[in-house]
């Protein structure tokens, strides 16, 4: 009989290596043998069936289960002690979602990914957990993990078009698009502000937060501020702490900062900090440190000096990962971020074709071409031809990669 290793098994079965180890430890792989610390698995062994699927109540659809989980995991966390929600929620799969959200807010991205791994085999829970996991993977600089989650989400979009499964997967992909300033990649419903296809159990505050982020991406800061303020104004009086409670205020602060309204930006930031930092929720402030041009540090020193090091250290750890991710993401999705015309012009500029020649070929002035290139640089978050070449020119490394 031919045998394979645990590493070969997780590739063959399409699951995580951790899941393979759990199956082996639970003796759920027939005829598998352990030698020292290594396992040998029959080459023809099939992936064991997931008992959670077998116990699924008859007639319960994935769509209805996702709706149930969304509704059950968008309750506000107690303002005095957000962690108390873990004692209130009895069902393990629901508690897992809150554990992931709490871990994300505190910058414990490894725990977020562990929570995500535990949802394997439970499609509704996995889809719900993807919202935190996909951003956690970016913060960790784990681009392969991001790609795996992205592929899963795209398969959900393709398989369930028109359902709340497809819409929620698109929502998660949209969260990535606005986070990396790729507005051309957001779904049409977000740019149009039509949320009718999304599960009604989703709170409108989070959807409006994404829409505010979209307007920030396209430089419409006044509209972004109006959307975020409206979401907060029409919210019910705060009965606890929610993700949008914090992030909408940070969005208001950033929009005000971009509009040069520093006093308002400071007020919004301090308000958000007052909700989040007493509970160790540092991520909403570590993510945009660079965007505030020193204002974040000033507010931390002024009102929450004990949290200063934690926020800034997380920013230092993750900012390089977001830059690396952006480079991968832009290169992989260049034709979606840029229009066909922009991509063509970018290729010519990257090859150092003179601006005068490009302008003549495309019947535009050199000045107009320069303006287009500035827009392209802004979309890619770069500033030179050399950087542009890394995205738009295909190179053969000769190493098979």
Q: Mean per-residue pLDDT for 169-176?
A: 91
Q: What is the pLDDT of residue 259?
A: 93
The architecture in CATH of the region 338-392 reads Orthogonal Bundle (1.10)
pLDDT digits (tens, 9 = 90+) for 77-131: 998 899 999 999 989 999 999 999 999 999 999 999 999 999 998 999 999 999 9
**Average pLDDT over the chain, rounded to whole?**
85
* Mean pLDDT of the 268-275 span: 96
The answer, yes or no, to whether residue 401 has pLDDT greater than 50, is no
pLDDT of residue 384: 86
- From 218-227, 334-343, 367-376, the region with the lowest mean pLDDT: 334-343
β-partners of residue 4 are 41
- pLDDT tens sequence across 348-363: 888 788 899 888 878 8
The pLDDT score that the predictor gives to residue 399 is 36
pLDDT value of residue 374: 92
Query: Is the pLDDT assigned to residue 327 strictly greater than 80?
Result: no
Give yes or no for residue 267 having a pLDDT over 90.
yes
User: In whole angstroms, what is the distance from residue 181 CA to residue 162 CA?
Assistant: 26
Closest CA to 280 of 131, 107, 140, 114: 107
CATH topology match: 3-50 vs 79-321: no
Average pLDDT on 167-178 reads 90
For residue 391, pLDDT beyond 80: no
Q: What is the 3-state secondary structure (H, E, C) of the chain?
A: CCEECHHHHHHHHCCCHHHHHHHHHCCCCCCCEEECCEEEEECCCCCCCCHHHHCCCCCCCHHHHHHHHHHHCCCCECCCCHHHHHHHCCCHHHHHHHHHHHHHHCCCHHHHHHHHHHCCCCHHHHHHHHHHHHHHHHHCCCHHHHHHHHHHHHHHHHHCCCCHHHHHHHHHHHHHHHHCCCHHHCCHHHHHCCCCCCCCCCCHHHHHHHHHHHHHHCCCHHHHHHHHHHHHHCCCCCCCECHHHHHHHHHHHHHHHHCCCHHHHHHHHHHHHHHHHHHCCCHHHHCCHHHHCCHHHHHHHHHCHHHHHHHHHHHHHHHHHHHHHHHHHHHHCHHHHCCHHHHHHHHHHHCCCCHHHHHHHCCCCHHHHHHHHHHHHHHHCCCCHHHHHHHHCCCCCCCCC
322 vs 212, more confident: 212
Strands 38-42, 3-4: pairing kind: antiparallel
pLDDT band at 178 (very low <50, low <70, confident <90, very high): confident
Q: What is the band of 49 on the pLDDT scale with cuts at 50, 70, 90?
A: low
Pick the CATH number of 3-50 from 1.10.3470, 3.30.1330, 1.10.10, 3.30.70: 1.10.10
Bridge partner list, 35? 38
Report the CATH number of the 79-321 domain: 1.25.40.10
Domain boundaries, the chain: 3-50, 79-321, 338-392
pLDDT (tens digit, 9 = 90+) per residue, 208-239?
999 999 999 888 999 999 999 999 987 655 57
Query: CA 109 to CA 118: how far, in whole Å?
Result: 14
pLDDT bucket at 398, cuts 50 / 70 / 90: very low
Give the N- to C-terminal CA distance of the chain in Å, as an integer: 34
């Amino acid at each position: 009989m031919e045998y394979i290793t645990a590493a070969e098994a997780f590739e063959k079965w399409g699951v995580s290596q951790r899941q393979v180890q759990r199956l082996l430890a639970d003796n759920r792989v027939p005829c598998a043998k352990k030698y020292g610390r290594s396992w040998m698995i029959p080459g023809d062994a099939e992936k064991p069936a997931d008992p959670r699927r077998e116990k699924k109540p008859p007639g319960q659809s994935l769509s209805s289960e996702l709706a149930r989980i969304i509704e059950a995991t968008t309750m506000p966390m107690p303002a005095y002690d957000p962690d108390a929600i873990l004692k209130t929620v009895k069902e393990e799969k629901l508690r897992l979602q809150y554990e992931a959200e709490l871990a994300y807010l505190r910058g414990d991205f490894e725990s977020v990914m562990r929570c995500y791994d535990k949802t394997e085999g439970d499609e509704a829970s996995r889809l719900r957990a993807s919202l935190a996991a996909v951003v956690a993977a970016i913060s960790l600089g784990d681009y392969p993990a991001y790609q795996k989650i992205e592929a899963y989400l795209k398969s959900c979009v393709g398989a369930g078009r028109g359902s709340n499964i497809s819409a929620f997967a698109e929502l998660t992909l949209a969260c990535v698009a606005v986070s990396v300033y790729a507005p051309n990649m957001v779904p049409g419903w977000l740019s149009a502000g039509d949320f009718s296809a999304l599960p009604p159990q989703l709170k409108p505050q989070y959807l409006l937060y994404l829409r505010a982020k979209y307007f920030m991406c396209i430089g419409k800061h006044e509209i972004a501020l109006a959307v975020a303020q409206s979401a907060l104004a029409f919210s019910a009086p705060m009965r606890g702490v929610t993700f949008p409670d914090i992030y909408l205020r940070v969005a208001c602060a950033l929009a005000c900062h971009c509009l040069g309204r520093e006093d308002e930006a400071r007020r919004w930031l301090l308000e958000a900090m007052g909700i989040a930092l007493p509970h160790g929720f540092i991520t909403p402030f570590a993510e945009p440190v660079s965007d505030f041009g020193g204002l974040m540090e000033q507010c931390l020193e002024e009102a929450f000096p004990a949290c200063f090091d934690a926020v800034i250290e997380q920013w230092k750890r993750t900012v390089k990962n977001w830059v690396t991710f952006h480079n991968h993401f832009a290169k992989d999705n260049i034709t979606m971020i840029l229009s066909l015309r922009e991509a063509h012009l970018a290729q010519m500029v990257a090859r150092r074709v003179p601006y005068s020649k490009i302008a003549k070929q495309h019947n535009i002035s050199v000045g107009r071409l320069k303006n287009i290139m500035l827009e392209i640089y802004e979309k890619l978050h770069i500033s030179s031809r050399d950087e542009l070449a890394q995205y738009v020119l295909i190179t053969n490394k000769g190493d098979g990669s």
